[in-house]
Amino acid sequence: MFKVGPRFFLGSRSRSPREPLGPFQTDAKIYATTPGSGLRITWMGHATSLVEIDGARILIDPVWDQRAAPTGWVGPKRFFPAPLQLSDLPAIDAVIVSHDHYDHLGAGTIRELTQLASVKQARWITPLGVGALLKQLGVPAGQCDELNWTDSTRVGAVEVTALPARHFSGRSLFNRMETLWASFAFTGPRHRVYYGADSGEWDVFGEIGKGFGPFDLCMLEIGASNPLWADIHMGPEGAVRGFHALGGGLLMPIHWGLFDLALHHWRQPIEAIWPVKAVKLWCPTPGVPSDVTAGEELRSEWWRRGS
């Protein structure tokens, strides 16, 4: 606390945009058509994405909640509203919850999702132990698949595999490490995507790349990092190294630009990785369904409009 305290209390202004971002709007009519490339992603901000891969629709770490916190009145608040109303979601085949932290598992969001016709038939895929919390939030027990690391399940033609990550779990100070956390590989007949969720940098990335790659897209966290917690959040530099260890392809930066969860300026993660010539970036505008084409960069500069 002696190291973190002064920076936490004195540097808060730069950690959030001074002016509202967006608004960002998703044209839900696009989901009536299949992606021409076979792989389309709608990034809702932070770690939440709707991934359409080889005929399957997978919603990742859904957080539409106003705050990434246990209450609705205090805690990290969204920088911009969700681009798509939950009620406008297309039919979902599976929902992935990578671990139980508030910025990846929004309790209010889960409760609302369970009431939607578009999610009624979806499989809920989680690491070990997270299913109990989902059941408390209304997810039917029979629709929840809990996976250990290296366990797999199928969503249509896509194999979903839970893989190791260097992180931790717990929604309070008193239940740390009681549930598992994971990254995920999505392996379809035409495309492969790696979702890194939350992780520190480590040599397992190389093993994952050899076993499940080559990936068309690697979704890796770049934000909420600090040298003091490098073991659990890799940051932009670690993401670049991890991306190369995974075997390359396209790097989609996630886990930034929506919540104040660290001590850095809110734009620092993307500004750090933007000029790196050794990676091909795939960085969409929040809420815009975007096709992924092999080797073709996407560099939306929506974040430059915020101060």
| Environment class of 180 (CB within 10 Å of its CB; exposed 0-12, middle 13-18, buried 19+) | buried
pLDDT tens-digit map of 259-300: 999 999 999 999 999 999 999 999 999 999 999 999 999 999
Q: What is the pLDDT of residue 5?
A: 58
Q: What is the pLDDT of residue 212?
A: 98
CATH code, domain with 177: 3.60.15.10
Question: Is the pLDDT assigned to residue 9 strictly greater than 70?
Answer: no
Q: Is the peptide bond before 127 cis (omega within 30 degrees of 0)?
A: no
pLDDT tens-digit map of 65-87: 999 998 888 899 999 999 999 99
Amino acid at 74: V
Q: How far apart are CA 1 and CA 124, in angstroms?
A: 37
Q: What is the pLDDT of residue 176?
A: 85
* CA-to-CA dists, residue 4 to 231, 245, 255, 262, angstroms: 16, 31, 21, 10
Parent domain of 247: 22-288
Q: Is residue 16 part of a domain?
A: no
Q: How many domains, the chain?
A: 1
> Is-contact 222 281, C-beta < 8 A?
no
Question: Is the pLDDT assigned to residue 13 strictly greater than 60?
Answer: no
pLDDT tens-digit map of 90-117: 999 999 999 999 999 999 999 999 999 9
Q: What is the pLDDT of residue 7?
A: 54
Q: Is residue 50 part of a domain?
A: yes
| 241 sits in which H/E element | helix 235-246
Q: Is residue 106 part of a domain?
A: yes
Greatest Cα-to-Cα distance within the chain, rounded to the nearest angstrom = 54
Q: What is the pLDDT of residue 151?
A: 98
pLDDT tens-digit map of 185-222: 999 999 999 999 999 999 999 999 999 999 999 999 99
259 versus 307: the higher-pLDDT residue is 259
Q: What is the pLDDT of residue 18?
A: 86
The pLDDT confidence band at residue 172, using thresholds 50, 70 and 90, is confident
Beta strands in 111-226 (DSSP E): 123-127, 144-147, 152-155, 158-163, 183-187, 192-195, 217-221
Q: What is the pLDDT of residue 3?
A: 61
Share of the chain above pLDDT 90, in %: 87
Q: Is residue 232 part of a domain?
A: yes
* CA-to-CA dists, residue 77 to 20, 58, 73, 82, 102, angstroms: 12, 25, 9, 12, 12
Q: Which two tokens stand for residue 242?
A: 């991890």
10 versus 257: the higher-pLDDT residue is 257
Q: What is the pLDDT of residue 191?
A: 98
Q: By C-alpha distance, which of 272, 149, 293, 277 is closest to 221?
A: 272
Q: Is residue 256 part of a domain?
A: yes
Q: Is residue 217 part of a domain?
A: yes
Q: What is the pLDDT of residue 175?
A: 82
In three-state form (DSSP H/G/I as H, E/B as E, the rest C), the secondary structure along 254-282 is ECCCCCCCCCCCCCHHHHHHCCCCCCCEE
Q: Is residue 65 part of a domain?
A: yes
Q: Is residue 243 part of a domain?
A: yes
Global pTM?
0.95
Within 8 A by CB and 6+ apart from 256, the residues are: 46, 221, 222, 223, 224, 266, 269, 270
